[in-house]
Structures are given as C-alpha cells and as structure tokens.
Amino acid sequence: MSVKYTPVQWNKNKWGYDAVLIALVVLYITVFIEVGTPAADLARPLDNAILRMRAFGTCALWMLTFILCIGPLARLDKRFLPVLYNRRHFGVLTAVVAFTHAMYVFNWYFSFTAQTTLAAMLASTNGFGQILGFPIEILGLVSLILLGILAATSHDFWLTFLSAPVWKSLHLLIYPAYALVVAHVSLGYFQDSANPVFGVLFVGSALGVAVLHLLALLKERKVNDAATEWVEACKPGDIQDKRAAIVTLSKDERVAIFRTGSSFSAVSNACAHQGGPLGEGKIVYGCVTCPWHGFSYKARNGRSPAPFTEMIPTYNMKLEDGTLYIDRKANQPGTDVEPIIYEVENDG
C-alpha cells in the first residue's frame, strides 16, 4: 500500500511470473514447430505457415484453459494461490498469442484478394446453417475481440474507473470467449484431422475446466443453515501461521480467519480498496495484507495503519471443543474485537 501512484506496481514476483510465462510460451512454440516440421511437407510453403498457425493457436487454447482452471484450483488448494495473484498478466499474454495466431490466419488465407483481409474474411462467412463447413473464422474473431477487451481493461485504472462489481462482471466475458474457442476448434480441427491425440487432450481439458468449477462450487456451498447464529469454521490448527482460512457464510459473504502465532481474528474477506480476496493474502509486518494491491489492515479491528483510513468489518468468534465458530452478524467496519488465543499443538 502506498500514497504514491505508479502505473504498474512491479515487484520481483511479477517479474518472475512474467518471465516464466514467456519462457513456457517460447518453449511450447519451439517444440511444436520442431516436432511438427518433420511431419510436414516443406516442399509446399503452406505447411510451414499452417504449422506456425497451429502452434500459436493451440498455445492460446491451453493458456486460456489454464487461466480458467486457476480460480477453482486456488479455492480447492491454497498452493495454487501464487499463480492466481498475477492472473491478469497471464490473460494479457494469452491475448497476444491469440492475436499472433489470427495474423497467421489472415495473412495466409485472406491476403490474396483485392479486399482487405478482414473484409475478405467476413465475405467468406456463409454456411451458418450447417455443421460441415461452418464458418469457424467468425467464432475465432469474436473470441479474439473478447480477449482483446479483457486485456485492454486488465489495468487497475479500469478496475477503479468502472468500479469493482462492473469490472468483475465485464471480465466474466472470459467464459463466452472460451466457449467460442471450444466451438472454433471443434468445428474446425476435428473436421480436418484424423489425429486423435489433440482431440483427446482438447476434450479432456474442456471437461477439466467444467469439473474443477463444479468442485469449487460444491465446496463453497457447504454453508451452515442461515438461521444458525454461530457458524462452525475450522480447527485452529487448520490455519497456517500468518495465513487465513476462508469461511463462506452465504452466497455473497465470506470471512477470513487470520492466525498470528496463537492469536486468531476474523475480518471480512473483501478488501475495502477494490474487493480483493484478503483471505488469499497473508500477515505482513503484523497486518493483514491484500494480495491484489498490498492494502493492509490490523486483524483485530479491521483498520488500516496510519496515515491510511480504510476499514473493513470484523467478526466475533468463539472457541468450543477445539473448534472456532463465527458470529454471522458482522461488526461495523473498524470495530475492535479481542482475538481468540489458542496454542496450537505440534506446530512445526
């Protein structure tokens, strides 16, 4: 958290994250081309162009698939949280890779006409009433536009300008974008290839996205009856020191129980800045620190340290039979609550 505005708040984690992403993309493209080249008839130049086209196209597909898996994976297993924190960088790079794929398509298939490449592509889009020969280009184009919108609005400026609810709703466009990509590949590749390897990987990845989202949804729906004042949360030993356990109270309300040594406090899971998931952050210099932009709060009262004035709601807790319980009713933002003290046995 800082009083000074910077366009991009770079740190070593972001640099490392981006470096790994770029290295993996370069590696995938290189391996795809090296493995695919011997199988292609290079006496015909089109094979070389199509090879690169498919390399970037499949790379964008796998990247988009993994992006959609990051959210549910992080909810199911906290070890995936470091991948989640800079997911927007992943999305921007995916849009760049997808755009490169589109440029190969445009330059090869639609450059040899008197029309512009885009006009030539749109003029060829007929046959919508049939499966065989369906104009898959239009599906890819719309998906590319959606990915471009998401990449262009990924910066924090748009999150602030549009407000967190509007921005989050806008970025749900990644789901129709993925559906269009699935249709684009299904109606294109599978009509033109007898190789089952990619088909198995493609179907498996699409099913994997659906299954992971379903598992994460089922986990979050394990909510106690709304009439119960106290909600069973977890055992104190289930929470790693300097970290939190996220408890779902209702569809729209989550609480983060933070542990500092033997001290346990509960605050709202939503950061007052832009709604970031506080429970996915950690205790830094004695304060709950948001993983999105570093806004900090004292765990016992939900107040940001001076000179900052942000505040979040706190929650009362009780300890019964070695289990933490949370009061459903939130306290006013900034309300001081005495922490629960519990010495965790066998804490390594």
Q: Which of 304, 285, 308 is nearest to 296 (CA)?
A: 304
How many C-alpha atoms does 67 have within 13 Å on its Cβ side? 26
Burial class (CB in 10 A: 0-12, 13-18, 19+), 172: exposed
Residues 321 and 200 both lie in one domain: no
The contacts of residue 196 (CB under 8 Å, 6+ apart) are: none
Stretch 226-250: mean pLDDT, rounded?
Answer: 85
Residue pair 139/180 in contact (Cβ under 8 Å)? The answer is yes
Residues 178 and 256 both lie in one domain: no
Share of the chain above pLDDT 90, in %: 45
**CA dist., res. 152 & res. 293, Å (int):** 19
Stretch 56-77: mean pLDDT, rounded?
Answer: 91
* Predicted confidence (pLDDT) per residue in 306-321, tens digit: 888 999 999 999 999 8
| 8, 14, 17, 18 alpha-carbon torsion, rounded to 10° | 30
pLDDT recorded at residue 133: 65
Domains identified in the chain, total number: 2
Residues 188 and 97 both lie in one domain: yes
Residues across the chain: 348
Residue pair 264/256 in contact (Cβ under 8 Å)? The answer is no
4, part of any domain: no
Residue 260 φ then ψ, to 5°: -125, 100
Give bridge partners of residue 267 from the DSSP assignment: 256, 314
304, part of any domain: yes
Stretch 255-284: mean pLDDT, rounded?
Answer: 92
Stretch 55-59: mean pLDDT, rounded?
Answer: 92
286, part of any domain: yes
Residues 175 and 71 both lie in one domain: yes
**CA dist., res. 231 & res. 228, Å (int):** 7
Residue 24 clears pLDDT 70, i.e. is over it: yes
Within a 10 A sphere around the Cβ of 146, how many other Cβ atoms? 19
Residues 80 and 41 both lie in one domain: yes
214, part of any domain: yes
Asked which of 187-191, 248-252, 290-294 is least confident by mean pLDDT, the reply is 187-191
* Predicted confidence (pLDDT) per residue in 27-44, tens digit: 999 998 887 666 554 444
Q: Could you tell me the CATH number of the domain that includes residue 325?
A: 2.102.10.10
pLDDT recorded at residue 252: 75
Residues 257 and 135 both lie in one domain: no
Residues 297 and 183 both lie in one domain: no
Tell me the pLDDT band of 249, cut-offs 50, 70 and 90.
confident
181, part of any domain: yes
pLDDT recorded at residue 298: 95
pLDDT recorded at residue 131: 64
Q: Alpha helices, DSSP H only, in the chain?
A: 12-36, 45-76, 81-85, 87-109, 117-123, 136-152, 156-162, 164-170, 174-188, 196-220
Residues 146 and 240 both lie in one domain: no
Mean pLDDT, the chain, integer: 83
Stretch 190-219: mean pLDDT, rounded?
Answer: 81
Q: Which of 287, 314, 318 is nearest to 302 (CA)?
A: 314
* Predicted confidence (pLDDT) per residue in 83-128, tens digit: 887 788 899 999 999 999 998 888 877 777 777 777 766 676 666 6
Residue 69 clears pLDDT 50, i.e. is over it: yes
Q: How far apart are the first and last CA of the chain?
A: 31
pLDDT recorded at residue 76: 86
Residues 251 and 183 both lie in one domain: no
**Which range of residues forms the domain containing residue 33?**
12-220
Residues 144 and 55 both lie in one domain: yes
- In angstroms, the Cα distances linking 138 to 110, 123, 135, 154, 331 are 13, 11, 6, 24, 52
Residues 33 and 178 both lie in one domain: yes
Residues 90 and 170 both lie in one domain: yes
Question: Which of the listed residues 163, 188, 220 is the one where a domain comes to its end?
Answer: 220
6, part of any domain: no
Residue 262 φ then ψ, to 5°: -105, 10
Mode of pairing for the β-strands spanning 230-234 and 323-327? antiparallel
- Percentages helix, strand, coil for the chain (3-state, rounded to 5) are 50, 15, 35
Quick check: pTM over 0.75? no
Stretch 144-163: mean pLDDT, rounded?
Answer: 87
Stretch 36-60: mean pLDDT, rounded?
Answer: 71
* Joined tokens for residue 345: 């046995």
Residue 225 clears pLDDT 50, i.e. is over it: no
Q: Return the higher-pLDDT residue of 195 and 159.
A: 159
Residue 214 clears pLDDT 70, i.e. is over it: yes
Angle at 265 between CA 219 and CA 310, to 5 degrees: 100
Question: Which of the listed residues 220, 242, 271 is the one where a domain comes to its end?
Answer: 220
Residue 346 clears pLDDT 80, i.e. is over it: no
Stretch 198-215: mean pLDDT, rounded?
Answer: 88
Residue pair 75/213 in contact (Cβ under 8 Å)? The answer is no
How many C-alpha atoms does 175 have within 13 Å on its Cβ side? 9
34, part of any domain: yes
pLDDT recorded at residue 38: 60
200, part of any domain: yes
Question: Which of the listed residues 220, 253, 281 is the one where a domain comes to its end?
Answer: 220
